[in-house]
Amino acid sequence: MPLPALIPQPQRCTPLDGESFVLDAATVIVTPSAFAATAQQLAARIKQATHWSLPVSDSVPAVAKAVIEFRLAQPPLASPEAYTLRVTAGRVTIAASAPAGAFYAVQTLFQLLPPAIFGHTPQPGLKWTAPAIEIEDAPRFRWRGLMIDSARYYQPVDCLKRFLDQMAQHKLNVFHWHLVDDQGWRLEIKKYPKLTAIGSKRRESPLGQRTAELGGDGVPHEGFYTQAEVRDLVAYAAARHIQILPEIEMPGHAQAAVAAYPELGLLPQAKEVSCNWGIHETLFNTKPATFKFLHDVLDEVIALFPFAYLHIGGDEAVKQQWQQDAATQAHLKQLGLPDEEHLQSWFIRQIEAYLQTKGRRLVGWDEILEGGLAKTATVMSWRGIEGAIAAARLGNDAIMCANQNLYFNFHETETPETEPITYPLPLPLAKVHAYEPIPAELTPEQAKSIIGVQGQLWTEYIATPSLLEYMAFPRTCALAEIAWSAKDRPGFADFLGRLRTHLRRLDVQGVRYRAPLEYLPAP
């Protein structure tokens, strides 16, 4: 019996003999109070697709023919995200130890039903069957992330909500939100209104990859998220068991902030919010007033985002401005530090200490290893895997974000002429799917420091939500398998087979994606 087309592939699937479950207008949903919110989400999705209002009850009515029953797992399951799902004629039984597990069971149940379950229009004559099966499932990694860069191009909140919907369906649980960069500051900070009044606007954006050749587009770009919008998005994510990791870049990628408040920088005349891509020289200075500013900003960020982690960037901070600034050099000497790498490390440790007083854990890109890693920092290894190896050997946690495997803004093929304008580095779907996040260099004990894996969508060349989806899918479907499925998950050919059905689910939801080249007939 073929297995159903589930993505990500669950840990264990056992097809059962016997009839399928048939969802109909008389189906009853039964749940203990612990899973009532999830049961209501299930009923809401069924209502959207079928227009049936199924009752959600705390006990099985005597007459019900078809029942979807949630239970607290006995004995409890090892992970709050784990679940079991048993589908037989007349009954679906979901068992979990926590709401997250029940939620993921429901995501799997949706994939057992016809793709139209993701739609909004009743399908006359469609039989809502789910095959008889027993599934035992739990995630391989606890950090299953996707990063979106909202600084280079602002995305409307609705675009981000669509991504959160997809993340939930793919059992991803951390939305890393890149909110500030040289080209834009996109988060409302009440105490520093110029961050958005000035920092969220740029004159224009580069045309193509080589600005020098093509120039700018002459089109102003702006946008920011109000604190009310952020609270709404955080709640929307939480309802889908997704935490939002805000990223506030320092000490580099600071040009929009310094354009708004020149006293934070190192030049007598601050540069404008950048209209170019690439690595910039603008740094924050290391004065006490700048740390006061950063603390104030972080206070507001902490109040908005309940996640235990907070990302402070730390990448690509070229040190030229610190080298050339007499006051910074005097500060460096006064601290007894040998060079600017150590000054960056000192900078990050100051912020780490501050975050610790607020009960938050610091995350940074792998450059935060340079000059000495802060004790409790979590490292996002993006320039390959070396950052993760170094962090794990120091006993720090690490998340695999390796650009050659997980930067979904890269080209998908080796033929740039068939690609949108973006980074001309090929990252085919097969290469994403083949990625093994645990570096072979680590001992089993060190490997425990690799807490997860994350895909990245940098948006220098992704100006629209539609192109963002096109770059993200189906590579994000492959990410889901790396992050959730077992290490010995089925191979790429099997994935491609399941993906055919899965893309129909995306079709129903109007999600734009790139059909795999492998589906094309051989030339």
Shortest Å distance, C-beta 242 to ligand ACM: 21
Nearer to ligand ACM, 170 or 176 (CB): 176
Shortest Å distance, C-beta 79 to ligand ACM: 29
- 222 counts as binding ligand ACM under rule CB under 6 A: no
Shortest Å distance, C-beta 475 to ligand ACM: 16
Active-site positions read 181, 253, 316
Shortest Å distance, C-beta 247 to ligand ACM: 10
Taking CB under 6 A as the criterion, the residue among 134, 217, 232, 316 binding ligand ACM is 316
Nearer to ligand ACM, 404 or 509 (CB): 404
- Both tokens of 195, joined, read 């961050």
Shortest Å distance, C-beta 185 to ligand ACM: 17
Shortest Å distance, C-beta 316 to ligand ACM: 5
How far is residue 471 CA from its own chain's centroid? 14
3-state secondary structure 257-300: HHHHCHHHCCCCCCCCCCCCCCCCCCCCCCCHHHHHHHHHHHHH
Nearer to ligand ACM, 9 or 381 (CB): 381
Shortest Å distance, C-beta 382 to ligand ACM: 4
Nearer to ligand ACM, 110 or 382 (CB): 382
Of 389, 337, 391, 339, the residue nearest 363 (C-alpha)? 391
Contacts with ligand ACM by CB under 6 A: the residue count is 4
Nearer to ligand ACM, 299 or 315 (CB): 315
Element (H, E) at 56: strand 56-57
Taking CB under 6 A as the criterion, the residue among 382, 435, 461, 484 binding ligand ACM is 382
Of 48, 23, 41, 24, the residue nearest 121 (C-alpha)? 48
- 296 counts as binding ligand ACM under rule CB under 6 A: no
Residue 33: partners with Cβ closer than 8 Å, 6 or more residues away: 58
322-325, Cβ contacts within 8 angstroms, sequence gap of 24 or more: 322/266, 322/283, 322/286, 324/266, 325/266, 325/285
CA torsion through residues 495, 87, 99, 502, sign: positive
Nearer to ligand ACM, 134 or 315 (CB): 315
- 365 counts as binding ligand ACM under rule CB under 6 A: yes
Residue 243 φ/ψ, nearest 5 degrees: -95, 145
- Both tokens of 392, joined, read 């794990």
Residue 114: partners with Cβ closer than 8 Å, 6 or more residues away: 123, 126, 128, 129
Reading phi first (left if > 0) and then psi (alpha if -120 to 50, else beta), residue 519 is in alpha
What is the crossing angle of helices 157-169 and 465-472, to 10°? 20
Does residue 129 contact residue 113 with C-beta atoms inside 8 Å?
yes
Taking CB under 6 A as the criterion, the residue among 315, 339, 341, 370 binding ligand ACM is 315
The shares of helix, strand and coil residues in the chain, as percent rounded to the nearest 5, are 35, 20, 45
x-or-dash string of contact with ligand ACM, 166-205, rule CB under 6 A: ----------------------------------------
Nearer to ligand ACM, 35 or 410 (CB): 410
Identity of the residue numbered 523: P
Residues near ligand ACM (CB under 6 A): 315-316, 365, 382
